[in-house]
C-alpha cells in the first residue's frame, strides 16, 4: 500500500475519470490529495465518501507523496514531473512530454508490464490512439511477427479536451439552427465534417499525432523494424476513437486464428459477426475499459495481410484506465 497518492489535473476530463476508477477499483492508500491549476485550487470534490479541497499544483505539494497519477498538458508535465521525482514521488504521466525519453518506460500493462521495473521515477502512458492499436497488435505480433501496419484513425472530439467537446455540441446546434459559431479548438467546423489533421506538421507530410503512433508503437513493442503508415482524422463523434487497421505478418494468421488470439487477450473484446451486424461502434463502447475488435478479415490484396476494425474509449483505456492500471502494477510490486 502507498502512504500517499496524488491525482494531478484532478478536475479535468481524464483526472475526473482517474478519481472514479481509483474509487471503483478500491485503490488503497493511507492518504489522497488532488492537485490542479490555480484556477481550480480551492474547489471541493468528493472521493470515497470524503470531501477534499483541491490544492494548487506547486512543487511543495508533492512533499510526502509516494505516487502521482497525472494528466496535464506537455508543458506542465515538463515542469512539475522532475520536481515531484526530486521529492521521492513516482509519477505515472499521461502527457506526451516524457514518452520518448529513453530513460522513461512507456507502458501498456497488458502488453509490456515488465517495463515498469526499469523506471527512474517516471512512467509514461501512451497516446490514446497508440494504446488501442498496440493492444490489438500484441497477440498478432507474438504469433506471427508484424512487419507492417497501415492504420486510419477516426478520433472523437473528446480527445481534444473539453473545448473540443464543446465545439462539437455547440457547433452542431449552431449548424442546425443556421447560426454562426466561432470554434474554440478546431480550425474548421467539426459538425457534419471530418478534419484530416490532428497535430502539427511533423515529418514528410505526417502530423505529430501520426508520428506518435509510429515512434510509440516501436518503443512499446521493442521493435524498431515495424513499418507503420498512419492517417489520423478528427470526426464528429463525442467519445471513443475508432481505427481501421491492416497488418502484414511474417507468418500467415488466418481469420479464425486471429479471432482466437484476440479473444484470449486480456483487455480485448471481440464483436465480430457481420451477418448479424455485430461490430464495435463508439455508441456501444463508450464508458468501457476494454478495446473492442470486429470486422476481422483477410487482406485480399496481400497473402499475409489481416484487416480489422478497433474501437476504444479514448478517455478510459486510452488515458485514465491505462494510467490506473500502471499504478496497480506498481502497487503489486510495492
What residues are labeled active site? 128, 241
Among residues 103, 104, 99, 102, which one has the least CA distance to residue 129? Answer: 99
Q: Helix, strand, or coil here: 29?
A: strand
Q: Phi and psi for 105 in degrees, rounded to 5?
A: -70, 140
- Taking the alpha carbons at both ends of the chain, their separation in whole angstroms is 7
13-24 and 321-333 helices, crossing angle to 10°:
40
Residue 217 CB burial class (10 angstroms; 0-12, 13-18, ≥19): buried
- DSSP symbol at 270: E
d(CA 264, CA 36): 39
d(CA 273, CA 277): 6
Q: Helix, strand, or coil here: 43?
A: coil
d(CA 127, CA 312): 13
d(CA 120, CA 197): 35
d(CA 314, CA 204): 27
Write out the three cell numbers for 59: 512543487
Write out the three cell numbers for 146: 508484424
- Contacts of residue 284, Cβ cutoff 8 Å, sequence gap at least 6: 271, 292
d(CA 161, CA 254): 39
Buried b vs exposed e over 112-129: b needs ≥16 C-beta within 10 Å? bbebbeebebbbbbbbbb
- Contacts of residue 277, Cβ cutoff 8 Å, sequence gap at least 6: none
Amino acid at each position: 500500500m502507498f502512504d500517499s497518492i496524488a491525482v494531478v489535473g484532478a478536475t479535468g476530463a481524464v483526472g475526473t475519470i482517474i478519481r472514479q476508477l481509483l474509487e471503483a477499483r478500491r485503490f488503497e492508500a493511507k492518504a489522497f490529495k488532488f492537485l490542479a491549476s490555480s484556477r481550480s485550487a480551492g474547489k471541493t470534490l468528493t472521493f470515497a465518501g470524503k470531501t477534499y479541497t483541491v490544492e494548487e499544483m506547486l512543487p511543495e505539494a508533492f512533499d510526502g507523496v509516494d505516487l502521482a497519477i497525472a494528466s496535464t498538458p506537455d508543458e506542465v508535465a515538463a515542469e512539475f514531473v522532475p520536481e515531484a521525482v526530486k521529492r521521492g514521488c513516482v509519477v505515472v504521466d499521461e502527457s506526451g512530454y516524457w514518452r520518448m525519453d529513453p530513460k522513461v518506460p512507456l507502458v501498456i500493462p497488458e502488453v509490456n508490464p515488465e517495463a515498469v521495473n526499469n523506471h527512474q521515477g517516471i512512467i509514461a502512458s501512451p497516446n490514446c490512439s497508440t494504446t488501442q492499436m498496440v493492444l490489438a497488435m500484441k497477440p498478432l505480433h507474438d504469433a506471427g511477427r508484424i512487419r507492417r501496419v497501415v492504420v486510419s484513425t477516426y478520433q472523437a472530439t473528446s480527445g481534444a479536451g473539453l473545448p473540443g467537446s464543446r465545439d462539437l455540441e455547440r457547433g452542431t446546434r449552431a449548424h442546425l439552427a443556421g447560426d454562426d459559431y466561432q470554434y474554440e479548438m478546431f480550425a474548421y467546423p467539426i459538425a457534419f465534417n471530418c478534419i484530416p489533421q490532428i497535430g502539427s506538421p511533423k515529418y514528410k507530410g505526417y502530423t505529430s499525432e501520426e508520428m506518435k503512433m509510429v515512434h510509440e508503437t516501436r518503443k512499446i513493442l521493442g521493435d524498431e523494424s515495424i513499418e507503420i503508415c498512419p492517417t489520423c482524422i478528427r470526426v464528429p463523434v463525442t467519445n471513443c476513437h475508432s481505427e481501421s487497421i491492416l497488418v502484414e505478418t511474417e507468418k500467415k494468421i488466418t481469420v479464425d486464428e486471429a479471432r482466437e488470439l484476440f479473444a484470449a487477450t486480456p483487455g480485448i473484446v471481440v464483436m465480430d459477426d457481420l451477418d448479424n451486424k455485430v461490430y464495435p461502434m463508439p455508441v456501444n463502447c463508450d464508458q468501457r475499459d476494454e478495446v473492442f475488435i470486429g470486422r476481422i478479415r483477410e487482406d485480399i490484396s496481400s497473402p499475409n495481410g489481416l484487416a480489422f476494425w478497433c474501437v476504444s474509449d479514448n478517455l478510459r483505456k486510452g488515458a485514465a484506465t491505462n494510467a490506473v492500471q500502471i499504478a496497480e502494477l506498481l502497487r503489486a510490486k510495492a
